[in-house]
Structure 1
Amino acid sequence: MSSDRRTFLTQLAAVSIAGATSFARSDESQTFPTRFITKGPRHHWFGYYDKLQFDVSGRYVLGMQVPFEHRSPVADDVIEIGMVDLQDNDRWISLGRSTAWNWQQGCMLQWLPGSESTVLWNDREDDYFVCRLLDVKTQQGRTIPHPVYSVSPDGKTAVTPDFRRIADVRPGYGYTGFPDPLADDLAPSDSGIFRIDLETGTANLIIDLAQIASLGEIPNAQPGIKHYFNHLLFNPDGSRFIALHRWRYPDGKRLTRMITANPDGTDIRIVIPNGYASHFIWRDPTHILSQSKNLLGNSNWGDFLFEDREGGTVEEIGHGVLDPSGHLSYLPGNKWILDDTYPKGKERLQTPHLYEIASNRRIDLGHFHLPKVYTGEWRVDTHPRLSRDGRYVCIDAVDGTNGRQLCLIDIGSIAR
């Protein structure tokens, strides 16, 4: 990598179409050291914002590598799994490969919680999806005969939806190759959320779609709506997990309820029942920050803090300041929220930003141009991810002719 690409940069509001290293300025005229840590000709990204991308030391940053862009993946498209060594000139280290992936969430690549050196990702083997686990120090690996989505904080348990069904009802979030055998069933009892024992490899269906479709009131219920689950996440102590219960209408529109449950699927609570739930994150074991609307007199989308119980307290956070459509995380200590935006304005700028709860102030971390060719299923959301200590943010962003790449932002001046 050339020396100019290693120079710490900031992003100006007017980012060039080339999108390569440029300058960013926050609302308070702060600047944040920023650099792309991967380069072409291959394209790199990580995907969703709620997975552990940084190892415990903060030295190694996980990513995926692919030789093409601007189309949907097919079953035999292979991506390379790897990590970037931030202390060795951003050297790319290959770890494996996968044929079970999508542009938005990759292959669920992440560091195994509770481990210093084990990573995991989903893959395809013969006629089913699997999960690979690899110790990057010893190179010892093993395979779980089920894919995973969210892993408990102790690294022993995972929960997962049916990726075949997601691929059928929401292309771009499931995996191609295996059709949903229950595609004609609107709410099957044999599909739903599975609990995976990562030590034994056993899997059990803990919440089925027939069950959730009959639980409580379905907003705007109509004949022909098709139910599915997506976006699962354990809380910080592993005592409960979130899942989005979604249903698609015959015209393609969809609504969403947020539910939580115990790891065995019991004690299901409908936390957001009104049909409007989107990006979310746990603040602590009993509170969830999520985007919704038609709440507290606000008919527009906003960021709301929900208590994890039906009919619990609700508080709007950052009205008019914190973006109501971005991907949310809390910095360690829960005083700051990390968020981003979708492309805005003629320049199509994406803006990861920090929001300080006590002062109601927002600090932009940069403005990244997203060319129009990146749209729909293969768009590049920045999906900001934090290092374990909160010092670094890694995003997916377009680096000019290099295409999608991993970009590192040093927010140590705030994290400290």
Structure 2
Amino acid sequence: MIRNTKFFFKGHLITLILILIIGFSCSNYKTSISIQFPKVCEPIQITKEGKDHFFASYYGINSFSQNQKYVTVLETDIKYRLPTECDTATLGLVDLKSLEFIPIAKTTAWNFQQGCMAHWLGSNPDSLIIYNDIRDGKFVSVILNVHTIKEKKIIPYPISAVSPNGKEAVSINFSRLRKTRDSYGYGGNGQDAKLDKVFPEDDGLFILDLETGKKKLLVSFQDIKELVPEVPNDGLEYFNHTLFSREGSKIFWLARARPNRNTTAFTINRDGTNLKKCFPDGWGGSHFDWLNDEELMVTAEYKKQQYGHVLFTVGDKDYKRLGNGILDYDGHGTFSPDGKWMVTDTYPKNGLKEQKIFLMDMESETVLPIGRFPQPEKYKKKWRCDIHCRWSPKGNMIGFNSTHSGSRQAYIIRLKN
């Protein structure tokens, strides 16, 4: 079905002669390096045509149950426009053995980029999930047992990231996000967007206690006013793209502004201390992942000269572009659970309008292309379908979205040693 739309290298042991394969000067690299890349199997379409499907959270967020029997997926009839608060999507599980789609809930708080932000909860990662919804006109998050289909708790705030232990979550203003970057927010008036204030003192980055349902403001918009580029009087500062570090001690997020989307990347300790900018002014920032609790990868404009996948330690000024020049672009990079690999993708900017997937060995930074998928023209606006790779807990599967079949569907690639 997809054999002619991608390419794979399948050898168990691939000896890569860097000067021949990726064209680098041997003055900076060994003449040859033996890399034990895993065997990359052909992608498996895990959802069926007829309706559009995609993973129910942002890239890099675990969509797999801990036992890797199920993944969380959204099903929708909406294709070529942004969803509104009147558009219901079905949240379901795909059984990775039978490929059956099992409906478990409905939600009206979702978008094509980040789904309904479904997370498996670390306290019970085979049974409990949390996802966003609209109840009585308000944005909330729902903790659900996927097997009994019983709601365990409704938190009166939406979530954008969940801590590894499943006890805390980050919350932002999705109504404000809808007004500042509409393809990432939710329709409706589920929160006060505070559109009359460029830097509100009572809004920003919140942390939620998922046991008590209480929230605490960690960083307000006013707190970062002097740390970000000046915003025009008709502009609005907004927060998006939040993520806990691997052990949960820190939180990363992006502060951006409408209308020109000036971007500043920040980290802060989970307790609200040690607020730090990640990059010098003008580097911006886009996509990201934590390698551990100290090291981050963010795609940014390195030295204001070259966009790339930039690895650094929080608080240090030693920035390193990953990929030996191959990954000098804005992609959605995310690390395997053991930190050995990084998978990333591209936007469809080449002449064939293909989205590509690359796997990189973190030790040698050798890059292996593992797939290419053409994107139809009708999926290239605000309802675009990014590849958005994500790892399984055991690191032997990569999930991604694609429209190369003519509709939006979810896929997995199995990796075998």
TM-score with structure 2 setting the length: 0.88
2:260 is matched with which residue?
253
Q: Which amino acid is 1:272 matched to?
A: F
The structure 2 residue matched to 1:338, chosen from 335, 338, 343, is 343
* Higher deviation after alignment, 117-126 or 42-51: 42-51
User: 1:224 Cα deviation (Å)?
Assistant: 4.2
2:181 is matched with which residue?
170
1:70 is matched with which residue?
80
CA pair 294-224 structure 1, distance change in 2 beyond 3 A: farther
Q: Which amino acid is 2:308 matched to?
A: G
In 2, distance between residues paired with 1:254 and 1:24? 35
1:195 aligns with 2:240: no
The structure 2 residue matched to 1:392, chosen from 397, 409, 412, is 397
User: 1:269 Cα deviation (Å)?
Assistant: 0.9
In 1, distance between residues paired with 2:10 and 2:376? 24
Matches within 5 A, 1:181-220: 181-214=193-226, 216=227, 218-219=228-229
1:40 is matched with which residue?
49
User: 1:346 Cα deviation (Å)?
Assistant: 2.5
* Higher deviation after alignment, 160-169 or 311-320: 311-320
2:308 is matched with which residue?
302
Identity %: 33
In 2, distance between residues paired with 1:394 and 1:333? 17
Q: Which amino acid is 1:227 matched to?
A: E
Cα distance per residue 1:90-116 (max 9 Å; x no partner):
011111010011111011012112322
In 2, distance between residues paired with 1:181 and 1:244? 18
Matches within 5 A, 1:4-403: 11-12=3-4, 15=5, 23-26=6-9, 32-46=41-55, 47-88=57-98, 90-115=99-124, 116-141=126-151, 142-178=153-189, 180-214=192-226, 216=227, 218-219=228-229, 222-248=232-258, 252-275=259-282, 276-295=284-303, 299-309=305-315, 311-322=316-327, 324-401=329-406, 403=407
The structure 2 residue matched to 1:405, chosen from 406, 409, 413, is 409
CA pair 221-149 structure 1, distance change in 2 beyond 3 A: closer
Residues 239 and 262 of structure 1 are in contact (CA less than 8 Å); yes or no, is this contact kept in structure 2?
A: yes
Cα distance per residue 1:52-91 (max 9 Å; x no partner):
1011111111100001200111111000000110112x01
SS in 2 for 1:134: strand
Residues 27 and 363 of structure 1 are in contact (CA less than 8 Å); yes or no, is this contact kept in structure 2?
A: no
User: 1:222 Cα deviation (Å)?
Assistant: 5.0
| Root mean square deviation of aligned Cα | 2.0
In 2, distance between residues paired with 1:143 and 1:180? 19
Cα distance per residue 1:364-412 (max 9 Å; x no partner):
22111101111231000010111111111111011534x1001111122
Residues 10 and 40 of structure 2 are in contact (CA less than 8 Å); yes or no, is this contact kept in structure 1?
A: no
**Which segments of 5 or more consecutive residues in structure 2 lack a partner in the other structure?**
15-38
SS in 2 for 1:284: coil
Residues 186 and 225 of structure 1 are in contact (CA less than 8 Å); yes or no, is this contact kept in structure 2?
A: yes
User: 1:265 Cα deviation (Å)?
Assistant: 2.2
User: 1:32 Cα deviation (Å)?
Assistant: 2.1
Residues 27 and 364 of structure 1 are in contact (CA less than 8 Å); yes or no, is this contact kept in structure 2?
A: no
In 2, distance between residues paired with 1:389 and 1:227? 38
User: 1:264 Cα deviation (Å)?
Assistant: 3.0
Residues 61 and 86 of structure 1 are in contact (CA less than 8 Å); yes or no, is this contact kept in structure 2?
A: yes
In 1, distance between residues paired with 2:217 and 2:223? 11
In 2, distance between residues paired with 1:375 and 1:37? 23
SS in 2 for 1:411: strand
User: 1:225 Cα deviation (Å)?
Assistant: 3.9
* Higher deviation after alignment, 362-371 or 177-186: 177-186
User: 1:357 Cα deviation (Å)?
Assistant: 2.7
Q: Which amino acid is 2:387 matched to?
A: T
In 2, distance between residues paired with 1:27 and 1:138? 41
Residues 245 and 257 of structure 1 are in contact (CA less than 8 Å); yes or no, is this contact kept in structure 2?
A: yes
User: 1:294 Cα deviation (Å)?
Assistant: 3.9
In 2, distance between residues paired with 1:220 and 1:144? 35
SS in 1 for 2:86: coil
Cα distance per residue 1:215-252 (max 9 Å; x no partner):
x3x3466554421111110001111100111122xxx3
User: 1:323 Cα deviation (Å)?
Assistant: 5.0
**Which segments of 5 or more consecutive residues in structure 1 lack a partner in the other structure?**
16-22
CA pair 79-315 structure 1, distance change in 2 beyond 3 A: same
Residues 32 and 365 of structure 1 are in contact (CA less than 8 Å); yes or no, is this contact kept in structure 2?
A: no
SS in 1 for 2:309: strand
SS in 2 for 1:407: strand
In 2, distance between residues paired with 1:397 and 1:80? 19
In 2, distance between residues paired with 1:410 and 1:62? 17
User: 1:138 Cα deviation (Å)?
Assistant: 3.2
TM-score with structure 1 setting the length: 0.88
In 1, distance between residues paired with 2:176 and 2:252? 19
